[in-house]
Amino acid sequence: MALLELQNVHTFYGNIHALKGISLAVNEGEIVTLIGSNGAGKSTTLRTISGLLSPRQGQVLLNEKRIDTLPSHEIVKLGISQSPEGRRIFPRLTVLENLEMGAYIHSRRDPQYRADLERVLDLFPRLRERVSQKGGTLSGGEQQMLAIGRALMSRPRILLLDEPSMGLAPILVDQIFRIVQDINKQGTTILLVEQNALMALGVAHRGYVLQTGQILLSDSAKSLSQNEMVQKAYLGMD
Amino acid sequence: MAVKAQAQPMVSDRSSLGTLRQVLAPIGQILIFVIGGSLLLGTIVVMLALALQAGQANLLNGVVSVLPLVIIDGLVLGFLYATIALGYTLVYGVLEFINFAHGEIYMVGAFVGGGLGIWLASQGLLATMHPLIFVVIAVFVAMLASGLLAVGIERFAYRPLRGAPRLVPLISAIGVSLVLQDLVRLIAGPARFNLRYPTLNLGGRIPLFEMSTAAGTNLRVSIDNQSLIFIITSLLMLVALNYLINVTKLGKAIRAVAQDRPTASLMGINVNLIIALTFFVGGALGGGAGVLFGIKYSTVNPYIGFIAGLKAFTAAVLGGIGNITGAMVGGIVLGLLEAFVSTYLTLFTNGRLSGPDYASVASFLILIGILVFRPSGLLGEAATQKV
Ligand SMILES: Nc1ncnc2c1ncn2[C@@H]1O[C@H](COP(=O)(O)OP(=O)(O)OP(=O)(O)O)[C@@H](O)[C@H]1O
Ligand SMILES: [Mg+2]
């Protein structure tokens, strides 16, 4: 039984038909990656899952219950959290306040809140040094860490990551992917959207290849990285 | 085995001092502008008096002797503008939309407070309660009424237009303000068009200090209770607002929604609820200001919201719209300026120009000047307190 499932999802921006019948599943404990070129519909898929967009057709199921009719702030409460494309840090809130907003659905008196905060600051020690700095003044990499940390603060069962490696130095990319694996080992299911298909397939268990709003391929990460078409189109190999 | 070093303190344990600073810092800033503004304007009028003294006997004496009163008047006006301006700035900060019906929300607050006073008086209750108790009750009831009114306006006149071009909700706001004016006029009827607040026995003037003037006379400076209540209550409202916005989870959610609505909803924040609450807070401040105005100036009418709203809007722009400290500071500066122009223009021109008539001209000249030369406001972009 899949934890998260999309069945024949069609999403539109006005007249633009961005998702043309996406079906995919993410099982408990997995890292699943969604790869595809620019404009393929990866971010749209995540926005549809989070309820920022509602599908015109098809459904999104969490534990076999429909969630596509719920507003996004309700979906977070069910255990789906997203680190969105472009980080979207609250620029005039401090690092600590950004993290607090990540834990918005929990009470601040919740003893677990402290533990979550410590866990995130242990994962990203650079954030610990900057707790009272304004989010907008962090470097790009630090903002990325904050975005991931903030998404973790809601204690999600499933974490949606939209291009966590974008704009990062190679060393940081390695570090981020290692952290993604750590988070997964600590029990969080992950749906990972990436341009960096090589890295993504390196950490994921399974993957889907998306093209112009449709699923082109789906397989284990290993088979995908050996697939000739994938190698040509997404891994830059000839 | 080495023990894992725990060098860093727990993050959240060093916050209570910071919290206090966050709440009080804007008040400090206001104080600086109060003192600085009074000193600056006071110096200017004294210099002018010295320069013009040759023509008029005793000019300096006259100028100095009314100075404390002018400053107190200026502060009262300033806090009035500041509390109303916060309503504009809060809503602008969250929605980038100017709620032009806010002046009327303030006016309704003034009528609710006055109506409550009249009703309590007719029941014989007013005479038995301490006047300060009445002030507190009236302020609270008006805050609640105006807050709910603002929420209702948002729900029915603005929210349905949220995706529309920016001009559309603006026109809706102007429509709402006309409707509110006429509705209040209708409910009040001709007899209560000029609604008189019941007279409160607040006691005599409170002496502040004595000073001796150049002419050798002793000048006793005192403040009337109404002004004192006005200043203290609005200061309390400002402190409470700072606490709400900077320290509480709700305040942080308001700021998060102001900065990035979709991302705020990804945090589990109910954006529509937060927007409604923002309207409530802004409306409540306006309603409270309305009652304070009624208590200080004793009569209110359905049209007081128009000019007060424009002035408060000017104050908000002066401080940098969307900026909370800015709105407070802008209000104070504008109030002081108007009070000075209003008194001293008459004095210096020997009555040829009527100061009170030109006070608004001065305000609106400032609005134009700010919009042309410094659209980001007095505090500018560097301001940290943007919503
Ligand atoms: N707000 C929007 N309004 C209209 N069209 C949009 C909007 N957002 C995305 N689209 C369109 O939907 C399609 C899918 O976009 P999406 O952002 O999901 O792509 P993506 O796979 O995430 O690409 P990238 O790797 O560049 O981030 C694109 O053709 C895009 O132009
Ligand atoms: Mg994308």
Which residue of chain A has the CA closest to B258? Answer: A90
Ligand 1, atom nearest to A45 Cα: 18
Q: Which of B267, B270, B271, B274 to mutate to test the interface with A (most CBs of A within 10 A)?
A: B267
pLDDT above 70: percentage of residues in chain B? 91
Per-residue pLDDT at B25: 80
Alpha-carbon distance of A93 to B373, in angstroms, equals 29
Per residue in B250-262, pLDDT tens? Answer: 999 999 999 999 9
Angle, CA of B135, B138 and B143, to the nearest 5°: 120
Q: What mean pLDDT do residues B45-70 have?
A: 82
Longest dimension (CA), chain B: 91
Return the SS3 of B276.
Answer: helix
Q: What mean pLDDT do residues A6-27 have?
A: 96
Alpha-carbon distance of B362 to B367, in angstroms, equals 9
Residue with tokens 């996406």: A22
DSSP type of residue B222: E
Q: Whose CA is nearest to atom 27 of ligand 1?
A: A38
Alpha-carbon distance of A214 to B49, in angstroms, equals 80
With a cut of 50, say whether residue B1 has pLDDT above it: no
With a cut of 50, say whether residue B2 has pLDDT above it: no
Alpha-carbon distance of B259 to A98, in angstroms, equals 11
Chain A residues within an 8 Å CB radius of B260: 88, 90
Mean pLDDT over the full length of chain A: 93
With a cut of 80, say whether residue B6 has pLDDT above it: no
Chain B residues within an 8 Å CB radius of A100: 249, 252
Parse chain A into domains and list their residue ranges: 4-234
Q: Are B253 and A101 in contact (CB under 8 A)?
A: yes
Per-residue pLDDT at A15: 93
The predicted complex's ipTM stands at: 0.94
Alpha-carbon distance of B147 to B177, in angstroms, equals 15
Q: Which residues surround ligand 2, an ion (CB under 5 A)?
A: A 43, 85
With a cut of 90, say whether residue A71 has pLDDT above it: yes
Ligand 1, atom nearest to A210 Cα: 21
Q: Whose CA is nearest to atom 1 of ligand 1?
A: A13
Which segments of chain B are extended strands (E)?
195-196, 206-212, 218-223, 299-300
Mean pLDDT over the full length of chain B: 87
Q: How far is A158 from chain B (nearest CA, A)?
A: 13
Candidate of A20, A44, A45, A210 to mutate for ligand 1, largest count of ligand atoms within 8 Å of Cβ: A44
Could you name the CATH architecture of A4-234?
3-Layer(aba) Sandwich (3.40)
Per-residue pLDDT at A63: 94
With a cut of 90, say whether residue B127 has pLDDT above it: no
Q: Do B8 and A128 touch (CB under 8 A)?
A: yes
Alpha-carbon distance of A10 to A19, in angstroms, equals 5
CB of residue A13 inside a 6 A radius of ligand 1: yes
Alpha-carbon distance of A162 to A86, in angstroms, equals 8
Q: Assign domain B2-7+15-373 to a CATH class.
A: mainly alpha
Return the SS3 of B365.
Answer: helix
The answer to whether A46 faces chain B, any CB pair under 8 Å, is no
Residue A228: burial class (beta carbons within 10 Å; 0-12, 13-18, 19+)? exposed
Compute the distance from residue A132 Cα to the ligand 2 centre, in Å.
Answer: 30
**A:B CB pairs within 8 Å:** 79
Q: Do A90 and B18 touch (CB under 8 A)?
A: no
User: From the list A72, A90, A117, which residue is nearest B260 (CB)?
Assistant: A90
| Core vs surface per residue B12-23: b (16+ CB within 10 A) or e | eeeeeeeeeebb
Q: What mean pLDDT do residues B60-89 have?
A: 91
Parse chain B into domains and list their residue ranges: 2-7+15-373
Type of residue numbered A83 = S
Q: What mean pLDDT do residues A50-74 have?
A: 96
Alpha-carbon distance of B178 to B183, in angstroms, equals 8
CB of residue A84 inside a 6 A radius of ligand 1: no
Instruction: Return the sign of the alpha-carbon dihedral for residues A67, A69, A72, A78.
Output: negative
SS (H, E, C) chain A: CCCEEEEEEEEEECCEEEEEEEEEEECCCCEEEEECCCCCCHHHHHHHHHCCCCCCEEEEEECCEECCCCCHHHHHHCCEEEECCCCCCCCCCEHHHHHHHHCCCCCCCCHHHHHHHHHHHHHCHHHHCCCCCEHHHCCHHHHHHHHHHHHHCCCCCEEEEECCCCCCCHHHHHHHHHHHHHHHHCCCEEEEEECCHHHHHHHCCEEEEEECCEEEEEEEHHHHHHCHHHHHHCCCCC
Q: Do A131 and B256 touch (CB under 8 A)?
A: no
Q: What mean pLDDT do residues A173-189 have?
A: 93
Q: Are A130 and A97 in contact (CB under 8 A)?
A: no
Candidate of A6, A9, A15, A16 to mutate for ligand 1, largest count of ligand atoms within 8 Å of Cβ: A16
With a cut of 90, say whether residue B107 has pLDDT above it: yes
Number of helical H runs and strand E runs in chain B: 12, 4
User: From the list B255, B262, B270, which residue is nearest A93 (CB)?
Assistant: B255
